[in-house]
Structure 1
């Protein structure tokens, strides 16, 4: 397809033995945000007796979002402690977290944490809950969400999930993972390319494009929990680029059934396709605005690929991207304010961010200095952008803050990770 800068080769068969991606904890964080709160998160009591480093997971989560700066410490601190605040102030900490992890008789884990304001010598709050063994990492993310919301007043995103395509050799696998890329689980494997994953608004389903069953591009939706799958679009020609409406009742798709690539809206079970664009150009990669009233999409109607807006109800399209002559892969923030996309600048493909409330059409700025970025996707609270890029000869997943100052490379194994998309709140 014209708008996709990557060429997807045929893949070999993938056996059913492929399971979860077993990865060790290794998020790499770089950069310094403009203002960061120094926070100390000592090791939790008894966390050395459990499979995952709970305190380290919490610290990495909080650092990745750019609001906090972790303070190095070798101490162990639990939620029942009476910490010496003067000592922690001398270590430049403004906030302090203590906690514990205990394995219960039934095999579950009891997780507890408490947050203190070191500067004001004040306890801010505590959290405790019990998780199944398989959910220990999720429990650590939930504690990070609790701390983040307690400090900022905003909902945290660490216990949410991401999806991405994992290519190892010629095998293609669609995986779902924790927000830091760990604990990746197989959703579907194919002997042909899998592309364009898209989360449903409630996070229960993923739409995607597969070439396997009909040897052409077909849009499917699959229930994450059960694996139940259904066809959404399998019309004559190509069916691609699914995107869910905010209410989950329909999807925008790109179809060639009537000729060139055009935008359609189709019911969530594949019913009642309705054509949205009617142009001689290639129109693709549509996403809904949060209010469901408009689509942002990519079109070459002006000579090169640019991002346009058009009403779902029908009407003229308006151009919204103006940084150079090649802009693709639009993603819109949950509040509708920001547009992230990929712009080609001097041969490099980089993540750009535009403030749609800014009347200056040329005010968009680059968030990355890499050269092979793709597929930006906003976190459900709008504070981070997930994307794929090329690093040391491999495709990896990254996140960046909206100011571009704090970037994190997520967990990866020996495969190539592509086309990431961040799921909604909830699991």
Structure 2
């Protein structure tokens, strides 16, 4: 639930319920690098061999290792050890050797530093089973974009071998707490290469990406009350979106980016409103006597899912995006919050309390079937990858906060373990347009 909620929250969830003034911070020290730990075994994984790129030993980034971690984290691939084989994008590999190692596909490439300081990154992908050249890519990039080049190569491999779009070159937003400092970060999809967008001595909550990936809406506390701002990621500039009497919270972009659903208490209780992305007078969507909050749109923009305690305890409901009667859709447990709808419209991830544990659940919307996908007990804030195949969420493991990604069946999980503070409030950005 968001900060305007009067519903009793667990200590873990309640800590997200405080908002404070944010200060644009152009230069903050980056957190220590993340460590990605992949666990679990998927039912069907494609064996791929990734030969170390020629020249990557002298590169600031180990391109093949980044690609390997991306593919393993997706749950769709199993890395085959390349042994001592040497190859680059010009090599015609001996497929018999790789078949003996049970590799279905093979990739190799090179990293070359150019005289102007940039790097020439090239690679080629092979189908070992069919003995086919599946093409390749080449990028000339500054050092700062080496990781992005690796993520784009991983996207190419993922799409060629699965037929689905890869998400490795997309971005995450998340919040950390280090000492008494809270920071909103924008990072690669693996949590690396984090850049500070906002800093504050007080908590930051509810960052959410615009559909085109250029802006983040978030909740700030100005003049001692929650206020919604929209922040341009590239420039760092922000603009006021909602500062009405009472609480202004829980922003959610419409799929066309023209408006946002928000929770306002301007007329008394917390209710849902629709407001133009350029600001202005909001239009009220719900007319209940209860707390209605945490709205999120369906991908086609026709439906809003939200949390309400109108039945006596927080549960998830849906209604037409124009307003109207609401239908309850969660029934397992007595506490269900934080809905996130997959971009393909098939799934809803949310947090449900059961026996004192707060666990990530995934519902198939067509059937209503629900499955728990984690073994942790303090899960929060799920957000789908733009290809609907992974979920990022916050949780606690080993006594500290962490961000995790999970496949929808929970078979493959990856921990993004920060060294510089607690991690929370993840939001997975869209495909770049």
Please tell me the TM-score bracket, short chain as reference. Answer: over 0.9
Counterpart for residue 160 of structure 1: 170
Question: How many positions carry a matched residue from both structures?
Answer: 423
Q: Which one of the candidate residues 64, 70, 78 is aligned to 2:88?
A: 78
Q: Does 1:218 align with 2:218?
A: no
Counterpart for residue 396 of structure 2: 390
1:6-405 to structure 2, matched below 5 A, reads: 6-8=14-16, 19-24=28-33, 26-75=35-84, 76-211=86-221, 213-358=222-367, 361=368, 363-405=369-411
Question: C-alpha separation between the residues in 2 aligned to 1:188 and 1:113?
Answer: 36
Q: Report the CA distance shift for 1:379/1:54 in structure 2 as closer, same or farther (over 3 A).
A: same
Q: Report the CA distance shift for 1:10/1:379 in structure 2 as closer, same or farther (over 3 A).
A: closer
Question: C-alpha separation between the residues in 2 aligned to 1:279 and 1:120?
Answer: 61
Q: Report the CA distance shift for 1:280/1:10 in structure 2 as closer, same or farther (over 3 A).
A: closer
Q: Is the 8 A contact 1:23 1:182 kept in 2?
A: no
Offset, 1:15: 10
1:231-269 C-alpha deviation (Å, 9 max, x unpaired): 111111111100000111110110111111110111112
Runs of at least 4 residues of structure 1 off by over 6 A? 9-15
Q: Is the 8 A contact 1:30 1:408 kept in 2?
A: yes
Q: Is the 8 A contact 1:20 1:184 kept in 2?
A: no
Question: C-alpha separation between the residues in 1 aligned to 2:295 and 2:431?
Answer: 22
Q: Report the CA distance shift for 1:98/1:297 in structure 2 as closer, same or farther (over 3 A).
A: same
Q: Does 1:418 align with 2:424?
A: yes
CA RMSD of aligned residues (A): 1.8
Offset, 1:121: 2.0
Question: C-alpha separation between the residues in 1 aligned to 2:36 and 2:211?
Answer: 27
Offset, 1:130: 1.3
* SS of structure 2 residue aligned to 1:334: coil
Taking structure 1 as the reference length, what is the TM-score of the superposition? 0.95
Question: C-alpha separation between the residues in 2 aligned to 1:341 and 1:10?
Answer: 22
Question: C-alpha separation between the residues in 1 aligned to 2:130 and 2:293?
Answer: 54
Structure 1 residue runs of 5 or longer lacking an equivalent are: none
Q: Is the 8 A contact 2:197 2:236 kept in 1?
A: yes
1:61-109 C-alpha deviation (Å, 9 max, x unpaired): 1111111101123434311112222221222211111111111122111
1:274-304 C-alpha deviation (Å, 9 max, x unpaired): 1111111110000011111111000000011
Q: Report the CA distance shift for 1:71/1:426 in structure 2 as closer, same or farther (over 3 A).
A: same
Taking structure 2 as the reference length, what is the TM-score of the superposition? 0.94
Offset, 1:396: 0.7
Q: Report the CA distance shift for 1:293/1:15 in structure 2 as closer, same or farther (over 3 A).
A: closer
Q: Is the 8 A contact 1:332 1:338 kept in 2?
A: yes
